[in-house]
Structure 1
Amino acid sequence: MGLIRTTFTTALLGATGAASGWAVWTRNSKFIPISPTDPIFSSPAYARQNPNRNPATQDLCQRKVPLNKIKPQLLEKDGKLVEAFAAGVWSGYGFAYQRSYLSKKYQNTTTTAHQLWTAPQFQSSTYEVGTQVTDHFEVVSKSPTSIVFRCGDSPLNTGVRDSDGLFEMKASIDKAEGVAVFELKSVFFKGTGKSTQKPMPEHIEFAHRLYTKLWMETAVGNCIL
């Protein structure tokens, strides 16, 4: 999982250095357990990418926002809220350091020219299946409330990978509670061979949770008034 570890550590150092008050800023983002019966584990992508059902490092971050704080135009048509949420993840400064790192290493005018690299591209995309982001993420499924990306290596590497994962962005409406519910779900695993251990050590898992909270806040910022 070398690429994942390097990317998270590099990005976290840059992001937390730029946002010294992140602990207060991210206090409304909460981690909740992922059910063993979560649909992500029975998805075609998970079965295809983790054929041996190796153990996964996983987390689910949730943030609730009152509906009266959501941009009204995002509630007018199914799918617009989750698209804006995804755009906020990729175009926000929570991802800026990682985006710069990936751009310097992988952006070119040939093999990655079709991918999304800039804030205007992130903001205008509707994230259809097959959309590739910064040579590290690819949309593998989409619904009106959910966009799931494959991650862990270049999308140009289409086979089973040693370092692999799924990253779901979800935005749904709870009318009874009067809130929009935003979720970031990550599941990382070793795709090749057979393993009995999770792919990430505890300190990298901890760093990823901090980084996820930064992504959550910058993404929600793209959806609120």
Structure 2
Amino acid sequence: MGLIRKTLGTALAVAAGGAGYLTATTNLTTPLSADDELWSSRSFKRFNRHRNPSIQDVCWKSIPLSDVRPELRENEEALTMEFCRGAWAGYAYAPQRAIMSITNKGPKTENQLFDEQQLASSKYELGTRFSDHFEVVERTRNSVTLRGGGSPLEPGPREVDGLFVISAKLNRQAGTVDVGLKTVFFNSAEPTGKKPAPFFVELLHRYYARAMVDDGARRLTRKTP
């Protein structure tokens, strides 16, 4: 019993330390502003056609240009691509990546991406699917929009649907690269006056998003294999 208590205490301390680090090194804004470009996007209008209430936030971080890998500093498209690769191939997504490789990988999903190496080298072109859970539905020079919440093999409405916008934007005036993960979850299956998940799930998601932004940012500042 003493060993169990000690192990649990250590785990809680590590978790608290990690949460503190992420809170100190990343920023989070919720809800999104009324004029956020996501609300007028083709994907949001298409998937949330009932205009149901949503869980919404954006986690972001500013990185000094001087810390960014030299070959990326003047190219928003390259910055966005590397940030996206870092987010999905990093430590935060690792447990889910491993679980989905076991449960979702098979003949029907053989054209999808599952392992770390694939996610670390993908170009995330329109239509790219991975983990049998995400699909790239929009692309711009500095953003990648993905749909999540269910299998891309079943593209219909979902009780828990979601859009994830990964972006990297140069701010030359401030001398920074602003990277972010914008998320909105909603019920696309039927009209409802409720958000698709309870508050504690929303809270856990926010730390998950912070961790993914931290992963993506690290890839912009370190050499990759």
User: One fold, TM greater than 0.5?
Assistant: yes
Give the AA of the match of 1:90: W
Counterpart for residue 33 of structure 2: 35
Q: How does 1:25-64 map to 2 (within 5 A)?
A: 25-26=21-22, 27-33=24-30, 34-64=32-62
TM-score norm. by structure 2 comes to 0.88
Counterpart for residue 83 of structure 2: 85
Return the offset for 1:77.
Answer: 3.3
Deviation sequence 1:37-95 (CA, Å, 0-9, x none): 21111111111111111111111111111000011112243411111011001110110
Counterpart for residue 156 of structure 1: 153
Give, in whole Å, the separation in 1 of the partners of 2:16 and 2:110: 35
Give the AA of the match of 2:83: F
Structure 2 unaligned spans of 5+ = 1-10
Give the AA of the match of 1:56: S
Normalized per residue, the structure richer in helix is 2
Q: How does 1:1-225 map to 2 (within 5 A)?
A: 21-26=17-22, 27-33=24-30, 34-108=32-106, 110-225=107-222
Give, in whole Å, the separation in 2 of the partners of 1:144 and 1:185: 16
**RMSD value, Cα:** 1.8
Give, in whole Å, the separation in 2 of the partners of 1:181 and 1:16: 31
Return the offset for 1:28.
Answer: 1.6
Cα 1:16/1:36, change in 2 over 3 Å: farther
Give, in whole Å, the separation in 2 of the partners of 1:68 and 1:19: 31
Deviation sequence 1:145-195 (CA, Å, 0-9, x none): 100000000111112222211001011011111111011111000001110
Q: Percent identity?
A: 35
Return the offset for 1:131.
Answer: 0.4
Give, in whole Å, the separation in 1 of the partners of 2:49 and 2:81: 30
Give, in whole Å, the separation in 1 of the partners of 2:76 and 2:98: 32
Give, in whole Å, the separation in 1 of the partners of 2:211 and 2:91: 9
Structure 1 unaligned spans of 5+ = 1-14
